[in-house]
Amino acid sequence: MPRVRVRELDQFFRDLRETVLALEQAYVQGTLAEQLKHMAIESRFGNGLARSYRFLLKASRLPDPEGLRRNTVHALLDQTRDELFETDIWFHADIQAVPVTGESASQANPTPATTVSAPDLESNSLDVVDTSPPPELAPIPVPEGNMDYELEGADTILAEEDGVDGREDVTEVLEDLVPVSSLRYVVSQGLATPVSLRLDQVLAARSWGVGFFFNDMEETDRVADLRARLALEHLARDLLDLSRMLPRLLRGKPGQYPPLVPPRFSRAAEQLIVDIVNEHEANASLSRLCEDYLQKTDLRVRFPGLQRRRGARVQVTLGPTQSHHQQKIDTIRNPDHFVILSPWALATAIPHFGSQATGNQVPMDHDLVRRFWRSLSGQPASLESLAYTIRGILHTAIHSPILDPRGPLALVPEAVRELIRAWVKHEAFRSTSAMREWEETQGEFFRRSDGRLGTRPLLNPKAPSALKRFLEANPVGSRVLGRVHAVGPRSAIIDLGNAVLGKISREEISWSTTQAKLKLFLNEGQEYEFVVTGGGRSTLDLVDLSRKRLQPDPWAAEDLGGLTLQKSVSGRVQSQTPFGLFVELRPDVVGLLHRSTIPDGIHETVWKLYPKDATIEVTVLAMDLDNRRISLALAPKVSAT
C-alpha cells in the first residue's frame, strides 16, 4: 500500500469508499470475480481488503431482503470516515524521545528519533519516566478454551482466519512505523500541566474528534499514514467478519437480529473504558465485529502474567442498577469467564458504609478508597445511588465538550479511573482463573493439530460431552429437577446439575397464554420439575425445557368443557390490553374479547367495569382449536348495560 500523507487523507478515503461500494455492487450483480481481477486492490489498499472480498467468492449466499449487509457496510464506512476525519479540536504536540534501557532499547528503532522542542517547554522541562510497554509474555501452555457460545459456529469465525484475533497486522504496522516505547507526544497548549501521550493514545484520540499537528512535517505525515493504515485494517477485518457472519444470521427470521454495528454511544462508552485502562500502559483494545456481536465481548484486556493468549473478555454496560447488571449477565453463557464492567459492579467493588469485605471487592489501599470518596460530589446513601453517581460521571464525560488531548478521560476523576483499572485487572485474573478451573473440571475439547485446544466440544462418541450424557439419560419427554439460575423477560436459565444448563421460554410456562411473565411462575434459586423437550440445534445449545407439559393440554379436550359457538359463558378477566380483554373461560383456556366487537358507546365503561380478575359474561363467536384461539363478544345482557 502506498504511503498516505496528511494532505492525501481525503482522497484516500474517497478512493476507499468508491472501491468498497463498487465491490459491493459487483457482488450483488454476480460479477465480483471479474471486478477483483481488474481492480488493483492489493497495490492500492493492501491484502486485507482483497482477502475480505475473495472470501465472498466461496461463501454461501442467502437472500437478504432487509439489506442487512448493505446497511452494515455503510455503517462501517461511516465509522472509517469518523476515524479519519471527524476532528472537532486540534492540539499542537511536540515530539519527545523517551530514554529506554535494557530489553526495550534493543527493540527501539536504530534511527535516532526526531525531537522537536517547544519554546514554552524549555523553561518548564518535564520529568521523563520510562513508561514503555511490558515485554512480550511467554507462550501460554494452555490456550483459551470454549468461550464462543452465542451462535452456532461462531468459533469457526475466529479459528479459520489467519492470526486468530486479527490484530497481528495492525501491531506490525505500529512497530514498523514508529517504535511506541521511544516517542512521546507532549501537549502544553492551553493546559495548566503538559500532557505526554504515547502513539496509541494519539491515534485513539481520533475517536473523540481530537487531532494533532506537529512542527515536523515528516512526523505529521507518518502519523497520518499510520492512521490511514489502521482505519483500513479495521475496515477490512470487520468486512471479513461480516462475510463470515451473514450466512448464519440470514438463516434466522427476518428482523430477528439488531444492527450489527453498535450505536455511537455504546462505542463511546467502550472507547472511554479502553482509554482509562490504557492510561499508563497499553493493555486494552476494542473487540472485532464478530466478537462484539456474537460473543458478548466489547473489549479484550491483556496484563503481564495473565495466561490468556487473546486477553480477558470484557462486557461493558452503563446500566446503573442491579437489575441492569443482572440482565447483562443473563445474556452471557458462563459469565464467570467475563469481566462484567458496570456502575453497579464498580459500586460493589469498594468498601462501602463500613460493610465487611465481599468476594466482589477488589483489594485496594486505604488511600485510594479515601481519594475515591473525596472525588465524589456528595456522599451517596446507598449502593444504588453510588452506582448512579459513577454512571453520571462517565455519562457526563462522554457528552461534555472536549478540552483535553486525552479526550473524556480527563473529566473522570483520577481516583475513579484508578478504581476502574484496579477492578478490570482484578476481574481479568479472576475470570481467567475461573475459566481454567472450568476447563479442568467440566470442559471437554478436542485438540487441534498445532496443540491448541479447540473451541468446540468433543464429537468423539467414546468421550461424550456432559450435555450428550444428560440427553442420553433423560430423553425427550423425561421429567427432571432443576434449579432456577436466572430469570429474564422472555426466558429463564435452569441449572440441571453436572455443568448442564437448560432454558425455558415463557411460551412453555403455561397453557393459558404466551405472554406470561416468568417471574410470576419461577423464583431464582428455587427448584422445580420440568419436562425435557429437546437438546437444541447443536451440542453447544441449552436443554429445552417446559413446565406446561407437566399438565394435560386443556385445549385437547373434545368439547373444552362444553364451550360451543354462540354460547354465553362466564369468564375471568385475565388481563386488559389496548386492543381488548383476555378472558379465561376454563382453566388455562383463554379467549379474546376484541375491542372491535364492543359497541362504540360503551368502550370506556367496559374497561372500568371489568378490571383484572373481574367476572364477565361473554358469547363465543369463533373457535380455532388448532391455533388455540377463541373470539368473544359481550353477552347480550352485558351489551344492554
Q: How many CA atoms lie within 13 A of 335 on its CB side?
A: 15
- What are 534-584's pLDDT values in tens digits? 875 544 467 889 988 888 777 776 666 677 787 888 888 888 887 888 888
- What are 224-236's pLDDT values in tens digits? 888 888 888 889 9
Our CA angle for 260, 263, 267, nearest 5°, is: 100
The pTM score is 0.60
Domain locations along the chain: 1-119+151-256, 262-441, 466-551, 555-640
- What are 180-226's pLDDT values in tens digits? 446 788 988 888 889 999 888 888 888 888 888 888 888 888 888 88
Confidence of residue 450 (pLDDT cuts 50, 70, 90): low
Q: Give the least confident one: 111-120, 404-413, 567-576.
A: 111-120
Instruction: Assess whether the region 466-551 and the region 555-640 belong to the same CATH fold.
Output: yes
Task: Using DSSP, state whether 299 is helix, strand or coil.
Answer: strand
- What are 464-485's pLDDT values in tens digits? 467 778 888 899 889 999 998 8
Whether 158 shows a pLDDT value over 50: the answer reads: no
Q: How far apart, in Å, do the first and last CA atoms of the chain sit? A: 82
Whether 151 shows a pLDDT value over 50: the answer reads: no
> 4 with 226: CB under 8 angstroms?
no
Contacts of 32 (CB under 8 A, 6+ apart): 23, 26, 53, 56, 57
Q: Give the least confident one: 78-92, 127-141, 236-250, 595-609.
A: 127-141
Helix (H) or strand (E) holding 249: helix 217-249
Under CATH, what is the fold of the domain 466-551? OB fold (Dihydrolipoamide Acetyltransferase, E2P) (2.40.50)
The whole-number pLDDT of residue 272 equals: 93
Q: Cα–Cα distance between 569 and 590 in angstroms, integer? A: 12
The whole-number pLDDT of residue 453 equals: 46
Whether 172 shows a pLDDT value over 60: the answer reads: no
Q: Give residue 588's region: left, alpha or beta (phi > 0; psi -120 to 50).
A: left
Whether 365 shows a pLDDT value over 80: the answer reads: no
95 forms beta bridges with 185
CATH no. for 555-640: 2.40.50.140
Closest by CA to 510, choosing from 466, 564, 547, is: 547
In this predicted model, which residue has the larger pLDDT, 21 or 348? Answer: 21
Across 326-353, average pLDDT: 82
Residue 530: burial class (beta carbons within 10 Å; 0-12, 13-18, 19+): buried
Task: Using DSSP, state whether 437 is helix, strand or coil.
Answer: helix
Contacts of 47 (CB under 8 A, 6+ apart): none
C-alpha cell at 438: 472450568
Whether 439 shows a pLDDT value over 80: the answer reads: no
